[in-house]
Structure 1
Amino acid sequence: MTLTFTFDPAVTPAVRDGILDLWLDVTNAGGAVGFVPPVTRDDIRPALIRQLTQVADGTARLLVGRDAEGRVLATGFLAFNAHRLMRHWVMAYTVMVHPGHQGKGYGRDLMAALADAARGLEGIEAIRLGCRGGLGLEHFYASCGYKEVGRVPGAIRVAPGDDRDDITMYLPLH
């Protein structure tokens, strides 16, 4: 099975609900996408609405990966930088692959599709992304061509006594 990636898909109720269910499954499987398990759809829905509002107002773009049946199994958002001196790069966030489909190369496919999408954006020269330490995510992103360019020790508190590093990764596109 392969995933078909669509940049700037129509955000239909099926796409919206697919992203919500993906985010729920990823978080509850221990994924580092802004929440700590356990969560419900109601916990995630406000964050998704904020992100889809950014897509609607043009400050962010959406990439969705679907299987042959149309199920949303991967996503990534690219946010434009509003600071006039930093408009030459975008920030990737809420980068997810369904936990039941990890280890099949979909994460690499997603990262390649995000880079291709960013290359198609006028004036964009790089992608930055942040990841939570303690899970080895920085090694995965490094294997996709990203370089670690910053680390703030203990900046992410997932629970009392469980602080993780906030790691910044960077991918030049040219």
Structure 2
Amino acid sequence: MSLRFVLDPDLTAELREQVVALWVDVTNAGGAVGFVAPVTGADVRPVAEATFAGIVDGPDRMLVGYDDARPVAVLVFADNRFDLKAHWCVLKRVMVHPGTQGRGYGSALMRKAEWLGRKLGWAALHVTVRDGLGLEQFYARLGYREVGRLPGALRVAPGDDRDEILMWLDLPPATPEP
């Protein structure tokens, strides 16, 4: 595995386009990253730009995994924007390019996020997943536990409402970097 991680890369126009393209590819391959397939860059771009603004202007942060020079894995550390929740962080837009599935990139991305979470002083990480895709098993293998569900919270199509599953990972003290 030749994945190299960068926390808070410079969000150049090129990287923004690469992240939008990744988002489109992940969604169109069935990934649950805020949209339902099929989507185009024009569909994703407004949400992506709002996400980028939260990163550039703060307080959110982005972790990008590169396979050589190509970004193939992304997640956002989304600040809770509330002092009583400052001790934990929400992970959003967790994406791995579908063409790299099966290489361990998803696990590597999440392990790096876990390590960084400790380094950044958080006591826990939180991620939500769309029911019906088996994603909760992936996160459970990484130590996340289901802490709740919002029944029918996600309407992916008329008559197809899915639970939003709330997953939580307690972060013990820092360990050596992966």
Please provide the CA RMSD for this pair. Answer: 0.9
Q: Which residue of 2 aligns with 1:100?
A: 99
Q: Aligned-pair distance for 1:56?
A: 1.1
Aligned: 1:22 with 2:22: yes
Between the aligned partners of 1:44 and 1:15, the Cα distance in structure 2 is: 15
Between the aligned partners of 1:120 and 1:15, the Cα distance in structure 2 is: 25
Q: Aligned-pair distance for 1:83?
A: 1.6
List per-residue Cα deviations over 1:31-71 (Å, max 9, x = no partner).
10000011110100011101110001222100001111x11
Q: Which residue of 1 aligns with 2:176?
A: none
Q: Which residue of 1 aligns with 2:5?
A: 5
Between the aligned partners of 1:84 and 1:13, the Cα distance in structure 2 is: 33
Between the aligned partners of 2:37 and 2:124, the Cα distance in structure 1 is: 32
TM-score by length of 1: 0.96
Q: Aligned-pair distance for 1:15?
A: 1.4
Equivalenced residues, count: 172
Q: Which residue of 2 aligns with 1:155?
A: 153
Q: Which residue of 1 aligns with 2:139?
A: 141
Q: Which residue of 1 aligns with 2:111?
A: 112
Please list every run of 5 or more consecutive structure 1 residues that lacks an aligned counterpart in the other structure: none
Between the aligned partners of 2:138 and 2:112, the Cα distance in structure 1 is: 15
Between the aligned partners of 1:37 and 1:92, the Cα distance in structure 2 is: 22
Amino acid in the other structure paired with 2:115? D
Q: Which residue of 1 aligns with 2:166?
A: 168
Q: Aligned-pair distance for 1:152?
A: 1.4
Q: Which runs of 4+ in 1 moved over 2 A?
A: none
Between the aligned partners of 2:153 and 2:58, the Cα distance in structure 1 is: 29
Between the aligned partners of 1:45 and 1:57, the Cα distance in structure 2 is: 18
Query: 1:141 aligns to what SS in structure 2?
Result: helix
Query: 2:120 aligns to what SS in structure 1?
Result: coil
Q: Aligned-pair distance for 1:120?
A: 1.7
Between the aligned partners of 2:29 and 2:56, the Cα distance in structure 1 is: 29
Between the aligned partners of 1:117 and 1:7, the Cα distance in structure 2 is: 9
Q: Which residue of 2 aligns with 1:40?
A: 40
Please list every run of 5 or more consecutive structure 2 residues that lacks an aligned counterpart in the other structure: 173-178
Between the aligned partners of 1:92 and 1:51, the Cα distance in structure 2 is: 12
Between the aligned partners of 1:37 and 1:170, the Cα distance in structure 2 is: 27
TM-score by length of 2: 0.94
Q: Which residue of 2 aligns with 1:76?
A: 75
Between the aligned partners of 1:99 and 1:91, the Cα distance in structure 2 is: 23
Between the aligned partners of 1:67 and 1:106, the Cα distance in structure 2 is: 9
